[in-house]
Amino acid sequence: MVTLVLAGCTSASGFSITTGGSCATVVASTGPCSGGAAFNSVTGASCSTTLPAGCTTTAGFSPTTGASCSGTATPATSGPLAGTAGNVAYSQLSQYSSEEVGSGVSDIKVAGFELEASDGDVSIRSFKLTFRADGNASTDSDRLIDYLDSVSIWKGDTRIGTANTADFIRDSAGVYSKVVTVSNAIVRDGDKDRFYVTVDAASNIDSGDIDSDSWGIDIINVRYEDGSGVVSTDTITQTEIPILFVTSATATDTKLKVALNNTPDASSVQVDSSNNTDGVVLLKGKLTAEGTSDVWVDALPITFTAATTSGSINAITGSVSLTLGNNTYTESTGTNCVDEDDFSTAQTCSTEANEVAGVLFDELDYTIPAGTTVNFTISADINDLDATVAEATNFDAGDSLKAELTGAGREFLVAQNALGDSLVDSTEMTGTALGEVQTFYEDGIAVTFVSSDADAFTVDAVDNDRVELVIVFDVEAFGDNAYIPSFQTPTTAATNATTGTAASSTAPTTASGVAFHVQSADTGLTIAYLGSTLTSTATEKTNSFEVVEGDTKRFTLKVTVTNTATSVLDSASVRALLAGINFGNSDSATGDFVYTSDLTDTFKTPYATIAD
């Protein structure tokens, strides 16, 4: 005879098959399937149906195990506890040790461990945590609240408990502990779940307290309940886990990297004798915020060099601009020139030729999101050429200017992480962006590298082998026709040719025509062993090749290096570099200017070896 029972229960033990609730208050019954009955006396279901243990239908939970009767897994963090004698085994995750904790940074994992349940499910109730600073220097604070605001415990990626450090108990000097209650933390029988301890750092950690501190965290015990309602506390034996307090920039691995970004090559720029030429690009770079923190930039130090024999910075340009992302900031070289050594001492940029000075673009208030890059451009409004030529501070054709963010200047770049900590130069700010020299002409040439080649020729193996070194380049004339001197035979006075072990030698002059340099480690090489020819698609005049304004013509320089009977150049490797190109506005063997922009860096041949 069946007595009064709760819904889904057949006895006073186990769980309801419809609700999953405890049957502890249920009056005993003989059960729906007993005595070899073919069908369930309550539901009519077949008693021979294969279902999870204790189940008579696919609905609800097993009255003996608490498992779902649908055959699916019981939810990991909810539902009744299976078994009656659950216990846990603890194992520390070794990858969490000496984790960096920075001022104001939140949710930093400082410890990790695994709990494995056996002989039944367990519900975790609390952990006892202890923080120790018994290794601190005498001048360092040993108060936990001076370092941390709160502590949290996580099961996987779910926060299950939190405690404020102000609520921790001071056990002794530099030792603080608290039992942190957790919820919704069930570990199922046979499962091994990961738990983590995270901390939220105080926003105002004293830098003097973190230079010699020694903190650690210890997980003292874990308290849990099994399926029978028994609550146990297991002591955990482990090595104390060190914590390393650092600046917030270090903790978030915040770095600001400076680099070039398709900056213009050294070149000629056409300007005017009557009107300014605005927006001439001198430098293109980029700033990258690495790490997990945004970077706030408020000042960018740019060094300007008037790399000329005449023309002060202020004579060349009165206004320079920084475009950072979509923002543009403009400074006057007349009022905002500063010493490039400190970017604060005022400097006059209108009284010196060949001068170097800084301009500090400040009050930028620009934020670079973590992990992103922002491009920047430095441009200048170039003045018109001065009517009075060759005065030391006037702006004349052939004067030049370059802009750079140098390694020395980077020290004065103002950048902070999201917590307001300044980034430290060389460790947290690295890289440079060095622009190339831009040379200004009203009438001039633009030169483009086309190709180069180096071939070795064996004649008869009796000290007369040679190499032929070829450089091909294009010349475009702007403003007026340009005349390139056509003489090319090297002279004993080294008018247009030099040799040496280095990549460059004496700078060419306006009497050098198309000048070149032959480089070799063999110190026996002199211009006596050189020969050269210069050919062009341009019209050849008496003393020069004429390139008509707006046209582009091709030039081919071939340099021959020949061994002699004295075997001076046996096994010598040689290459040629274009050193300078004279040009003027009339048919003359002597030019008005020497074009040198980017030549020796780009306009060069490979090496070739003279066999004998």
Going from N- to C-terminal start, the domains of the chain cover 1-74, 87-246, 258-441, 444-609
In this predicted structure, what is the pLDDT of residue 114?
97
**For residue 1, pLDDT beyond 50:** no
Pairing type for strands 267-270 and 438-441 reads: parallel
In this predicted structure, what is the pLDDT of residue 201?
93
Closest among 149, 135, 266, 125 to 199, alpha carbons compared: 149
Q: What is the mean pLDDT of residues 410-431?
A: 91
Beta partners for residue 251, in sequence order: none
Helix (H, G, I), strand (E, B) or coil at 364: strand
As a whole number of angstroms, the distance between CA 370 and CA 258 comes to 15
Please state which of the ranges 267-271, 388-392, 494-498 shows the lowest mean pLDDT: 388-392
Following DSSP, what letter does each residue of 341-393 receive, concatenated? Answer: TTS-SB--SSS-SS-EEEEEEEEEEEEE-TT-EEEEEEEEEEPPPPSSTT-TT
Indicate the pTM of the whole model.
0.69
Percent of the chain with pLDDT over 90: 62
In this predicted structure, what is the pLDDT of residue 24?
52
Q: Are 514 and 599 in contact (CB under 8 A)?
A: no
Higher pLDDT, 74 or 95: 95
Q: Which of 57-66, 93-102, 140-149, 163-172 has the highest mean pLDDT?
A: 163-172
Pairing type for strands 444-457 and 438-441 reads: unpaired
In this predicted structure, what is the pLDDT of residue 492?
47
**For residue 352, pLDDT beyond 90:** no
Please state which of the ranges 2-11, 131-140, 276-285, 325-334 shows the lowest mean pLDDT: 2-11
**For residue 303, pLDDT beyond 80:** yes
In this predicted structure, what is the pLDDT of residue 70?
55
In this predicted structure, what is the pLDDT of residue 248?
76
> In the block, which residue shows the tokens 């790399």?
307
**For residue 572, pLDDT beyond 70:** yes
| Averaged pLDDT of the chain | 86
The letter for the amino acid at 96 is: Y
**For residue 359, pLDDT beyond 90:** yes
Task: Place 27 in a pLDDT band, splitting at 50, 70 and 90.
Answer: very low
Q: Are 534 and 475 in contact (CB under 8 A)?
A: no
Q: Are 544 and 484 in contact (CB under 8 A)?
A: yes
Q: What is the mean pLDDT of residues 170-191?
A: 96
In this predicted structure, what is the pLDDT of residue 414?
97
Q: Could you read off the pLDDT of 205-246 as tens digits, one per residue? A: 887 777 777 899 999 999 999 999 999 999 998 889 999 988
As a whole number of angstroms, the distance between CA 213 and CA 17 comes to 58
Task: Place 504 in a pLDDT band, splitting at 50, 70 and 90.
Answer: confident
In this predicted structure, what is the pLDDT of residue 238?
87
Q: Could you read off the pLDDT of 82-104 as tens digits, one per residue? A: 988 999 999 999 999 999 898 88
Closest among 259, 504, 523 to 404, alpha carbons compared: 259
Q: What is the mean pLDDT of residues 295-304?
A: 97
Helix (H, G, I), strand (E, B) or coil at 218: strand
Virtual CA dihedral for 19, 22, 27, 31, nearest 10 degrees?
60
As a whole number of angstroms, the distance between CA 222 and CA 89 comes to 10
**For residue 469, pLDDT beyond 50:** yes
**For residue 281, pLDDT beyond 80:** yes
Question: What's the fold here for domain 87-246?
Answer: Immunoglobulin-like (2.60.40)
As a whole number of angstroms, the distance between CA 106 and CA 144 comes to 16
Q: What is the mean pLDDT of residues 319-342?
A: 94
Higher pLDDT, 248 or 284: 284
In this predicted structure, what is the pLDDT of residue 49?
46
Percent of the chain with pLDDT over 70: 83
As a whole number of angstroms, the distance between CA 177 and CA 76 comes to 30
Q: Give alpha helix (H) positions in 425-563.
A: none
Tokens read off for 432: 């440079």
In this predicted structure, what is the pLDDT of residue 220?
96
**For residue 66, pLDDT beyond 90:** no
- Mention every residue, 6+ apart, whose C-beta is less than 8 A from residue 155: 77, 124, 182, 184, 185, 193, 194, 195
**For residue 261, pLDDT beyond 50:** yes
**For residue 558, pLDDT beyond 80:** yes
Q: What is the mean pLDDT of residues 573-594?
A: 94
Q: What is the mean pLDDT of residues 370-384?
A: 97
Q: What is the mean pLDDT of residues 185-207?
A: 93
In this predicted structure, what is the pLDDT of residue 73?
40
Q: What is the mean pLDDT of residues 363-391?
A: 89
Task: Place 311 in a pLDDT band, splitting at 50, 70 and 90.
Answer: low
In this predicted structure, what is the pLDDT of residue 8?
53
Q: Are 118 and 187 in contact (CB under 8 A)?
A: no
In this predicted structure, what is the pLDDT of residue 315?
87
Higher pLDDT, 357 or 33: 357
